[in-house]
Amino acid sequence: MKLKQISLLTRRAMLGAIAGTVALSAFAGQAIADDKITIGALRFTSHSPTFIAYEKGYFKEEGLDVELKFFQAAQPIAVAIASGDIDFGVTALSGGFYSLADKGALKVIGGLMSEKKGAPGNIILASNKAYDAGLKTPADLKGKSWAMTQQGSSFHYMAGLIAENNGFDVSDMKLKPLQKVGSMIGALKSGQVDAMAIVPHIAKALAKGGAAKIIGQIQDMTDYQVTTIFTSTKNTMERKDLVKRFLKAYARGIADYDAVMQNQDKDPAATDAMVNLIHKYVYADRPIEKAAPPIKAGAVYLNAGAALDVKDVEKQLKWFQKHKLAPASLTLDKMVDSSFVSTLN
């Protein structure tokens, strides 16, 4: 073989090797491009945008590799974000959140479920035993026992709303912290507690099954930003773009949910498809024919674009501070970063 031919072959080999290296580098860059994040959630229909954005690939389109981690109550989610175990939480504000926000660990970055008249919302239930003994309306809850997950939980706050709207103090109710929603339901069904409030897909199923009686709705008393979206303060400062991408994907999940579930008769096929998606995470242990009715009945109102009702968040903070469930030093500006989403007021 001539020297010139050898030289040409060598050059081709070198070019091939370079091209191969570039291709491998591009592949490796693509493989590590997605930012890994973990989202804390509850298995409620009000968390459906999380499941929708995950299942439809909206997070993936924003370069986010998402892991879902499920909890039994709101407060542990706040603790998990502060400790770095998860990156985003979607749940109600709680005493644990306020304490960590005051330490500079957490920030509210958006809103999700709100109480809105005409849309399903949190329902007040009485046990059959208490109902038969005269517990017929929220006004009858003075002196009665109330199930909740923990002190300083959203269930505690809803008890406070009921008390204030009916002329007595929340301390006039016998508050029973039971740690988990499942324990609350069990205590109500067995008559160990007199009452509780819960999201509609659970409340309506309990009432329809004869396990409890509906005696009122939270939305009849006040506007209420029930759930918020929050993350670590570190993320809002050092990973702004990631937070924006997360919220962009999440807003698409909200839009899809609202478009289908707020008008379920418009496109029955789309409704069935959405219910099937949600069923992977809510009532997953039940056959779809039994899970579908409560999922449909629990089509709560969600704020478009993850907008936040700042005035109500401030109202909640003041109530928690009044009852010494939140630090007096905590301010709205310290706990809310409204630069990521629109506010309702």
| Average model confidence (pLDDT) across the chain | 90
Average pLDDT over residues 167-182: 95
Average pLDDT over residues 280-295: 94
Protein fold of 123-222: D-Maltodextrin-Binding Protein; domain 2 (3.40.190)
Q: Does the reported pTM lie above 0.85?
A: no
Using CA atoms, how far apart are residues 277 and 51, in angstroms rounded to an integer? Answer: 8
Average pLDDT over residues 321-341: 95
pLDDT at 33: 64
Average pLDDT over residues 164-191: 95
pLDDT band at 27 (very low <50, low <70, confident <90, very high): very low
Per-residue pLDDT of 261-272, as tens digits, reads: 999 999 999 999
Q: Is 3.40.190.10 the CATH classification of the domain at 35-115+225-335?
A: yes
Using CA atoms, how far apart are residues 92 and 230, in angstroms rounded to an integer? Answer: 10
Residue 341 has pLDDT above 90, yes or no: no
CATH 3.40.190.10 boundaries in the chain: 35-115+225-335, 123-222
The 10 Å CB-count burial string (b at 16+, else e) for 174-206 is ebbbbeebebbbebbbebebbbbbbbbbbbbbb
pLDDT at 15: 46
Using CA atoms, how far apart are residues 77 and 152, in angstroms rounded to an integer? Answer: 14
Residue 3 has pLDDT above 70, yes or no: no
Average pLDDT over residues 280-290: 95
Average pLDDT over residues 155-169: 96
73 token code pair: 């109550």
Is-contact 158 197, C-beta < 8 A? yes
Residue 63 has pLDDT above 50, yes or no: yes
Residue 276 has pLDDT above 70, yes or no: yes
Residue 69 has pLDDT above 70, yes or no: yes
pLDDT at 17: 47
pLDDT at 111: 96
pLDDT band at 72 (very low <50, low <70, confident <90, very high): confident
